[in-house]
Structures are given as C-alpha cells and as structure tokens.
Structure 1
Amino acid sequence: MRLVREYPTNEKVKFLVTLKVKYKKMREPRNFCIAVNDKTPKEAARQAEKQVRDNWRNVKSARYLCIENTENHSITY
C-alpha cells in the first residue's frame, strides 16, 4: 500500500481525502491523498472522486476510504 499526498502550494486546505484508485491494467489498487476545499466531508469526497476519474488516465474506479478534516483533525470513514 502506497500513500501519496498532494497539497496545493501554500494554501489552507479544509479536507484531505484518501482514495483507493483502481487502474485498468494493474492488479493492485493504489491509495492517494488529495486536498479538497469544500463545505462538507461527503461533498469533498465526491469532488475528489470526480476529479480523479475525469482528469487521470486509465482509471477504472476511485472510491474514498477516509476524509480527514484539517481544522479539528477528525476522521470520517
């Protein structure tokens, strides 16, 4: 399991969404952490999933594993 964190440069981020991304020609899924600014955790997860599916190549599926709120460090599964 590999975890990669993507942060926007010197911007205050509200949520860190960890995604399990399955690629078309790979057996093992990979985990990525993406920074998202949104109002609620569920909206942030939906936005991150859509961003990965639309903008990355060869993605079969993207599902969120957990959402971390960076303001109070609460984690939503």
Structure 2
Amino acid sequence: MNVDLTGARWFKSSRSESGSQCVEVAFLDAGVIGVRDSKNPTGPALVFTPGEWDAFTASLVDGAFNRK
C-alpha cells in the first residue's frame, strides 16, 4: 500500500515517557492507520487497514503479545 505520509499528524500514548522506546500513530486519509518508531521519524512506517488495526489492538487487549 502506497500512502502519502507528509501531512500525517503523529502522536504517542499519553503513557509514553521521554526518552522511552515508543511508537507513534497517525490516522490517515481513507481510514488507514500509520505506525512508526518515535526515535526514527524519518524512517519507514507501517500502514494498516481499519480491519487490520482493529484485529491488532484487540490482540493487545487480549494479551496475545504478552511475554510468558
């Protein structure tokens, strides 16, 4: 998916601490969602469809990515 990110408004979680390893999220045109590394804002970004984003965030809430 090729998406223009030049006008994206990126934000971090309110729980993000200064200097921490974080991701930033942007809600983009056509309903897609961008995710990037906050320490490398000019680097690559991942782009998710709304369905992919919903599945990802539901998995987070369900603990699917918790380390055992």
TM-score by length of 1: 0.23
Looking at secondary structure, tell me which structure has more strand per residue: 1
Q: Which of the two has greater helix per residue?
A: 2
Structure with the bigger RCO (C-alpha within 8 Å, sep 6+) is: 1
> Which structure has the greater CA radius of gyration?
2
